[in-house]
Structure 1
Amino acid sequence: MANRGYDVVVDVDQEGDLGHTDLQEDLEFHSSNFDTTPSGRGGSKVQPDSTSSFLPGPGPSSSSNAPSTSSGRKHYLWSLPFYAQAFDVDTTEVVRRCTSTIYPRANFLDVLEGNPDLYGPVWIATTVIVILFLTGTINQYLARTGEQHFAYDFRLLSGAAGLVYGYTGLVPVGLWAVLKWYGSESANLLECVCLYGYGNLVWIGVSLVAWSPWGILNFIVVALGLAFSATFLLRNLYPVLSTTEAKTSKVLLIVVLVLHTGFAIAIKVLFFAATSPVGPNKGDGGEQSGPVTRWEDWVGR
Structure 2
Amino acid sequence: MSGSGYDAVVDVDDEGDLGHTDLQEDLEFHSSNFNEPSSSSRGRKAPAAGLPPPATSSSSSSKRYLWSMSFYAQFFDVDTSAVLSRCWAALFPRANFLDVLEGNPDLYGPFWIATTVVLILFLGGTISQYLSTTGKSQFAYDFRLLSGAAGLIYGYTLVIPVALFLALRYFGSESANLLECWALYGYSNLIWIPVALISWSPISILNWVFVGVGFGLSVVFLVRNLYPVLSATDRQVSKILLVIVILLHAGLSLTIKILFFAHGSPVARSPAGGDADKKPEF
Are residue 204 (structure 1) and residue 193 (structure 2) matched? yes
**Equivalent residues of 1:97, 1:111 under 8 A apart:** yes
Rounded Cα–Cα distance in structure 1 between residues aligned with 2:269 and 2:207: 19
Q: CA deviation at 1:147?
A: 2.0
Q: Counterparts of 2:194 and 2:88 in 1: how far apart (Å)?
A: 14
Paired position in structure 2 for 1:76: 65
The amino acid across from 2:120 in the alignment is I
Distance 1:285 1:134 in 2: 23
Q: Where in structure 2 are the equivalents of 1:115-264 lying within 5 Å?
A: 115-264=104-253
1:265 is the counterpart of 2:242? no
Contact 1:280 1:286 in 2 (8 A): no
Displacement of 1:128 in angstroms is 0.3
2:273 maps to a residue whose letter is: G
Q: In structure 2, what is the Cα distance between the partners aligned to 1:110 and 1:98?
A: 14
What TM-score, normalized to structure 1? 0.70
CA-to-aligned-CA distance 1:175-221 (integer Å, 9 cap, x gap): 00111111211000000000000000000010011100100000000
The number of equivalent residue pairs is: 220
* Counterpart AA for 1:138: I
Q: Distance in 2 between matches of 1:99 and 1:248?
A: 32
Pair member with larger Rg = 2
Distance 1:91 1:286, change over 3 A: farther
Superposed structure 1 runs of 4+ greater than 6 Å apart: none
Counterpart of 2:258, as a letter, is V
Amino acid at match of 1:103: F
**RMSD, aligned α-carbons:** 2.0
Distance in 2 of aligned mates of 1:168 and 1:154: 21
Alignment match of 1:93 (pick from 59, 73, 82): 82
CA distance, structure 2, for counterparts of residue 229 and residue 202 of structure 1: 7
Map of 1:20-99 to 2, 5 A cutoff?
73-99=62-88
The CA deviation string for residues 148-192 of structure 1, in whole angstroms up to 9 with x for no partner, is 311211000000000000000000011001111112110000000
Q: Residue type of the partner of 2:202?
A: P
Q: Report deviation, 1:78.
A: 3.2
Q: Provide the secondary structure at the position in 1 that maps to 2:251.
A: helix
